[in-house]
């Protein structure tokens, strides 16, 4: 057991080390000093309070996406629909905050609850198709991203577009300031959504370790046949997992709308690749909610740090993307080898040589 825990820690650290080595090779190929360039990357991500807050602000949606998909991964469901769940929840929360009557606090709470519910329902719909019609989740969640993103784009390009501005961008009207999520530090970009994300991560860690539903989710992901033999309703647990997974992923978009953009802007959530980076953070952390906090901040720091590198050296910011690409390759190879080992073990247990 101790070896398994140590191995689970070593593998992500080894992946990060390989990524940094490849990044160093790219820096050297450009004729830049490696240590100095990585020093600039560190300064760009954590060099002062402003850069730290910028890194945490970028980490917030990545962390929420990662926490959301981690729940599905633990239940054995490969949820690739974080982008659609995030965008659909974001546009829903913006419209609720704009048009629901009441004071700002009511608008804020309603927007968060509706956004969570919409993201959860959109995710659970894919789970229902899996349970009822055997539509593979990896396919349905991926394709449903396009439906959600294009539908949100239509809403803010036509019926709910803000036509008062001269630019006539595809966006909603500006929200009432009373419905904003307050900033963690005045004048900085990070808001209290980051704190809520940390609380959710701790809550999920406790739930997975100490609650009955957390045990059922873990067992469903590790051994679905044993779960059924133990009297657990597999479809029910899977649907609950998918709903909560999509709801938390949806909060990534909700908090960006209420805490950063203060309106829904078409493509503002898809261009930064929050969803796919969040999936990477979840895989890198092996779906451990506490480890997801650190992997999300690390991946956010790669981006903000790369901006600092581009400002102060001749190395382009794509060096961060190179490191991320190596991490993706390592994670993909690890998943593939794990699947091959499981497949061989199953064939051996069934007496197939």
* Domain annotation covers residue 214: yes
Q: What is the pLDDT of residues 64-73, one digit of tens each?
A: 999 999 999 9
The whole-model pTM stands at: 0.93
* Domain annotation covers residue 191: yes
Quote the pLDDT of residue 231: 74
Strand partners of residue 265: 171
Quote the pLDDT of residue 1: 43
Q: Tell me what the pLDDT averaged over the chain comes to.
A: 90
Quote the pLDDT of residue 334: 77
Q: How confident is the model at residue 6 (pLDDT cuts 50, 70, 90)?
A: low
* Domain annotation covers residue 309: no
Do residues 90 and 257 lie in contact, with contact meaning Cβ atoms separated by under 8 Å?
Answer: yes
Q: How confident is the model at residue 94 (pLDDT cuts 50, 70, 90)?
A: very high
Q: Which residue has the tokens 């995710």?
A: 123
Segment 145-157 mean pLDDT: 97
Region class of 273: left (phi > 0), else alpha (psi between -120 and 50), else beta: left
* Domain annotation covers residue 216: yes
* Domain annotation covers residue 226: yes
Q: How confident is the model at residue 266 (pLDDT cuts 50, 70, 90)?
A: very high
- Number of domains observed in the structure of the chain: 1
Q: Is the pLDDT of residue 130 over 90?
A: yes
* Domain annotation covers residue 93: yes
* Domain annotation covers residue 53: no
Segment 28-45 mean pLDDT: 92
Q: Which residues contact 185 (CB under 8 A, 6 or more apart)?
A: 49, 53
Strand partners of residue 171: 265
Segment 253-278 mean pLDDT: 96
Segment 160-174 mean pLDDT: 83
Six token digits for residue 105: 């606090």
Q: Which residue has the tokens 């908090």?
A: 255
Pick from 51-55, 132-136, 263-267: least confident: 132-136
Quote the pLDDT of residue 8: 57
Q: How confident is the model at residue 166 (pLDDT cuts 50, 70, 90)?
A: low
Which structural domain, as residue segments, surrounds residue 214? 58-297
Q: How confident is the model at residue 342 (pLDDT cuts 50, 70, 90)?
A: low
Q: How confident is the model at residue 226 (pLDDT cuts 50, 70, 90)?
A: confident
Segment 308-317 mean pLDDT: 89
Quote the pLDDT of residue 4: 41
* Domain annotation covers residue 316: no
């Amino acid at each position: 057991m101790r070896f398994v825990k140590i191995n689970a820690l070593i593998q992500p650290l080894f992946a990060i080390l390989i990524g940094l080595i490849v990044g160093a090779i790219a820096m050297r190929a450009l004729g830049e000093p490696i240590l100095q360039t990585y020093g600039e990357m560190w300064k760009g991500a954590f060099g002062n309070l402003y850069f730290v807050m910028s890194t945490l602000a970028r980490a917030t949606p990545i962390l929420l996406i990662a926490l959301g998909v981690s729940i599905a991964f633990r239940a054995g469901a490969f949820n690739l629909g974080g982008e659609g769940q995030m965008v659909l929840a974001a546009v829903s929360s913006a419209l609720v905050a704009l048009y629901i009557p009441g004071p700002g606090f009511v608008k804020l709470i309603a927007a968060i609850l509706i956004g969570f519910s919409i993201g959860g329902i959109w995710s659970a719909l894919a789970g229902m198709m899996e349970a009822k019609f055997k539509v593979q989740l990896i396919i349905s969640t991926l394709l449903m991203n396009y439906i959600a993103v294009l539908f949100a784009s239509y809403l803010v390009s036509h019926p709910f577009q803000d036509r008062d501005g001269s630019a006539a961008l595809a966006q909603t009207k500006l929200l009432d300031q009373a419905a904003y999520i307050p900033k963690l530090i005045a004048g900085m970009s990070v808001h209290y959504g980051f704190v809520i994300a940390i609380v959710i991560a701790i809550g999920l860690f406790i739930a997975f370790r100490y609650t009955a539903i957390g045990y059922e989710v873990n067992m469903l992901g590790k051994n679905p046949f044993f779960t059924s033999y133990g009297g657990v309703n597999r479809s029910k647990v899977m649907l609950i997992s998918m709903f909560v997974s999509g709801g938390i992923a949806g909060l990534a978009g909700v908090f960006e709308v209420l805490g950063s953009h203060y309106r829904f802007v078409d493509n503002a959530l898809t261009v930064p690749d929050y969803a796919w980076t969040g999936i990477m953070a979840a895989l890198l952390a092996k779906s451990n909610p506490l480890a997801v906090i650190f992997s999300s901040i690390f991946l956010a720091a790669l981006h903000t740090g790369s901006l600092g590198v581009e400002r102060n050296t001749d190395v382009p910011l794509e060096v961060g993307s190179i490191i991320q690409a190596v991490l993706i390759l390592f994670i993909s190879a690890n998943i593939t080898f794990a699947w091959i080992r499981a497949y061989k073990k199953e064939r051996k247990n069934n007496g197939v040589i």
